[in-house]
């Protein structure tokens, strides 16, 4: 009887799986080779434009690399210690931090307010408004700098001074860009003007991704609009807010063209990217420039880690 049961067991488990056919394995290998061939150009472009410059910068930051001296001797951490102790780079760090705060706050506040307003619009009105709002995003930084230089002109031809004086807010024309703190705030706002459209698009997408059922349920529970915004909108909008935060950091650290057009290489307004320009193209010390670029990359990477942490914390809601 047991032998009969044992004989029936393989049949109860079902037929054995057929071994893969040789033709199917060959087709899969061909598909894999085709996939690798299709992505190979992208990998090649990334290797040439990203990987090679990054490795070269890291290697050059540990060398005595001056244009006037062909001997590229290993210098250890001397470039980093020299750059981090340099007054110009320290001031650039402070200025970049100021630009980051101004740009991020302006983009968050104006972007979120505009995104909430766009969400209330319907149909063609939203499309028209979004098109107008996105226009500053398409203007290059150099062109935007020239435009704002006319607006911020300290003479009577400057639009900002003319408007403020006509309404009685100022008694005389002001050179806003020459002031140490006000200049950073004004330049940061001009950069934020170009960055707000991206923030609006990201935040609007985040708002549209929040299920309407959550708001309807909260209304049943007695929550008002303010409580909905604090308890539902902001927590669920955290990934989009983190993207705006990271974009502000990237803009501030890489900011050069607009500042250069508005104030040149003013030490009180110079950024990290501006200090790299001074080291490499004024002093011809590429070792210092490479070290400054590696420090900037490390700062960006640290902020990116904060961004990733904020994004993955979305699972708590």
Answer for the pair 279, 288: CB distance below 8 angstroms, yes or no: yes
Selection from 262, 255, 248 nearest residue 179 by Cα: 262
Q: What pTM does this model have? A: 0.79
CB hemisphere CA count around 226 (13 angstroms): 0
Q: How many CB atoms lie within 10 A of CB 110?
A: 18
Ordered by where they begin, the domains of the chain are 78-316 (1.10.3720.10)
User: Could you tell me if 197 and 137 are in contact, meaning their C-beta atoms sit under 8 angstroms apart?
Assistant: yes
Q: Give the separation between CA 219 and CA 233, rounded to whole angstroms.
A: 14
The tens-digit pLDDT sequence of the chain (317 residues) is 444 544 444 444 545 555 555 556 777 888 888 888 888 888 888 888 888 888 888 888 898 888 777 777 888 889 899 999 999 999 999 999 999 999 999 999 999 999 889 888 887 888 888 888 888 888 888 888 889 988 888 876 678 888 888 888 777 788 888 888 888 999 999 999 988 998 999 998 888 888 888 877 877 777 777 887 887 888 888 888 888 888 888 888 888 988 999 988 888 889 999 999 999 888 888 888 899 999 998 988 888 887 777 666 644 44
Q: How many CB atoms lie within 10 A of CB 95?
A: 27
199 vs 103: CA distance, rounded Å: 11
């Amino acid at each position: 009887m047991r032998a009969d049961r044992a004989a029936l067991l393989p049949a109860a488990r079902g037929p054995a799986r057929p071994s893969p056919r040789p033709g199917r394995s060959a087709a899969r290998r061909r598909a894999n080779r085709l996939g690798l061939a299709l992505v190979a150009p992208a990998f090649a472009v990334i290797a040439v434009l990203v990987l090679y410059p990054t490795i070269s910068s890291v290697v050059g930051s540990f060398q005595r690399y001056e244009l006037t001296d062909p001997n590229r001797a290993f210098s250890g951490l001397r470039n980093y210690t020299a750059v981090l102790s340099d007054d110009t780079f320290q001031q650039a760090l402070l200025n970049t931090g100021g630009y980051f705060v101004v740009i991020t706050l302006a983009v968050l506040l104006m972007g979120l307010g505009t995104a909430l307003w766009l969400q209330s619009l319907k149909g063609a009105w939203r499309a028209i408004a979004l098109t107008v709002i996105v226009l500053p995003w398409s203007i290059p930084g150099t062109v935007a700098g020239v435009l704002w230089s006319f607006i911020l002109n300290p003479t009577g031809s400057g639009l900002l001074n003319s408007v403020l004086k006509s309404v009685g807010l100022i008694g005389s024309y002001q050179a806003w860009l020459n002031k140490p703190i006000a200049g950073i705030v004004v330049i940061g706002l001009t950069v934020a003007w170009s960055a707000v459209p991206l923030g609006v698009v990201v935040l609007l997408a985040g708002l549209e991704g929040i299920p309407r059922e959550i708001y309807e349920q909260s209304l049943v529970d007695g929550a008002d609009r303010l409580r909905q915004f604090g308890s539902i909108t902001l927590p669920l909008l955290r990934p989009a807010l983190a993207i705006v935060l990271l974009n502000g950091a990237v803009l501030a650290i890489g900011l050069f063209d607009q500042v250069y057009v508005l104030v040149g290489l003013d030490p009180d307004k110079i950024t990290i990217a501006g200090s790299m320009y001074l080291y490499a193209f004024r002093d011809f010390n590429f070792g210092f420039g490479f070290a400054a670029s590696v420090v900037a990359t490390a700062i960006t990477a640290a902020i990116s880690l904060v961004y990733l942490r904020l994004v993955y914390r979305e699972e708590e809601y």
